[in-house]
Structure 1
């Protein structure tokens, strides 16, 4: 019996409503990634920190069950873990340690990192492998002025000692290019994190297309700085991506609303 049809996966009725909401939102996000093609077989992760109303102040997180495609993730089969990746909810699914090492460092080291997203899209990895990285040459890079951090490649991310170096590389920048590896974003909310990652992803896609045709036209520092200041999509006072995320959730629901299970 598949994970999607296993009725034992339905959420227990006594689950805290804030945890239920977090599970449904995160499961919807996994389905959005699948819909957008931001998947890497059964790999990569989106994680959220559960609110104190659920955990009593302890640091607990939700992560995808290792072995399932993003299109199979549901609210009930998400796995609750601690900072060490230990399963807390008796889930029958394992957790990928290589996946949570980076997320744990960011969740623990950056108090505002409620959500962390990581992808290996073709455009993202391509730019991460480029000597010059992301160039300030298009509409989307212009909205990320001063927001992009770089972290040098140290191999497969299973070693916890990389955490402090990663945090030093990131500083307070929410859009991260892991050199030779892929893209990462973190934010105060899941929709805000999605907005940051979507903009970074689009910037990479446009750059890849532009460089395939010739030399790009640079955007000046002054214009890019102004564009980032004028772009309100990341700002909590202006929704921070909530409207866009809600629209994509509605699209997912028209396709398959089983993520709520």
Structure 2
């Protein structure tokens, strides 16, 4: 009997798709290790390269019903922008995942990877009137890089896509008001390091607000912090070293995600 995490086999995969599947499955396990999970909900998606799709816009998403700790390279589901399953997977896909993620993959040329979380700290900041406070080391690095999108309910309606894209503009970090955090990046590690920084900013803000009035960071200092935060930039690896370190931890715990 096969487990739900290994029930799908993909023969004759293009090497680039195989690599994308392994990297994305590793990311799901990293999220599980960090506690960035919400039962079977939320999503991390990766747009497949043209070498795999021939120019069609297709992406990989988690199978709906599995916990992040059950995601493997083989059970990730390949879908198109309409949410149609392209790889014969028997797993369903959550409409709340492909509706938003498809809009971003389609509308932002640089959005190779999209991540969305419902962490307590992230949702708390999304639910407070002022949003992210420019009052800590991590928030300063994201100065001018955070967009906001007003809450429109459960994200299953395609007509929200254009409004979401308008809210995002070119900003890689997004606070979905009353909802949670979302980021996108040109690579998966770049998206990850943006989300990690945003998550830490929210955690520190949550702790600070429980203790008293935050000390604001001066605008000029925040601008300097943004320029000096080189971990986001491709020429500095764009988070690859951080992501690799976490994947090594996952490998020591359970390398089964590679299957």
TM-score, normalised relative to structure 2: 0.98
Is 2:38 aligned against 1:45?
A: no
Is 2:176 aligned against 1:175?
A: no
Which aligned pairs between 1:88-107 and structure 2 lie closer than 5 A?
Answer: 88-107=86-105
Q: Which runs of 5+ in 2 are unaligned?
A: none
Aligned residues: 258
Q: How far apart are the structure 1 equivalents of 2:208 and 2:256?
A: 38
Runs of 4+ residues deviating >6 angstroms: none
Which aligned pairs between 1:51-62 and structure 2 lie closer than 5 A?
Answer: 51-62=49-60
- In structure 1, what is the equivalent of residue 155 of structure 2? 157
Deviations 1:89-122 (A, max 9, x none): 0001000011111111111110000000000000
Q: How far apart are the structure 1 equivalents of 2:144 and 2:32?
A: 29
Q: How far apart are the structure 1 equivalents of 2:249 and 2:10?
A: 23
Corresponding residue to 1:246 among 238, 244, 247:
244
- In structure 2, what is the equivalent of residue 3 of structure 1? 4
Q: How far apart are the structure 2 equivalents of 1:244 and 1:256?
A: 19
Contact kept in structure 1, 2:8 and 2:89, CA below 8 Å: no
Contact kept in structure 1, 2:104 and 2:165, CA below 8 Å: yes
Q: How far apart are the structure 1 equivalents of 2:115 and 2:239?
A: 15
Which aligned pairs between 1:111-130 and structure 2 lie closer than 5 A?
Answer: 111-130=109-128
Q: How far apart are the structure 2 equivalents of 1:242 and 1:15?
A: 24
- Please give the secondary structure, in 1, of the residue aligned with 2:231: coil
Q: Which runs of 5+ in 1 are unaligned?
A: none
Contact kept in structure 1, 2:138 and 2:197, CA below 8 Å: yes
Q: How far apart are the structure 2 equivalents of 1:199 and 1:154?
A: 26
Is 2:206 aligned against 1:208?
A: yes
- In structure 2, what is the equivalent of residue 226 of structure 1? 224
Deviations 1:170-198 (A, max 9, x none): 00000000000000000000000000000
Q: RMSD of the alignment, in Å?
A: 0.8
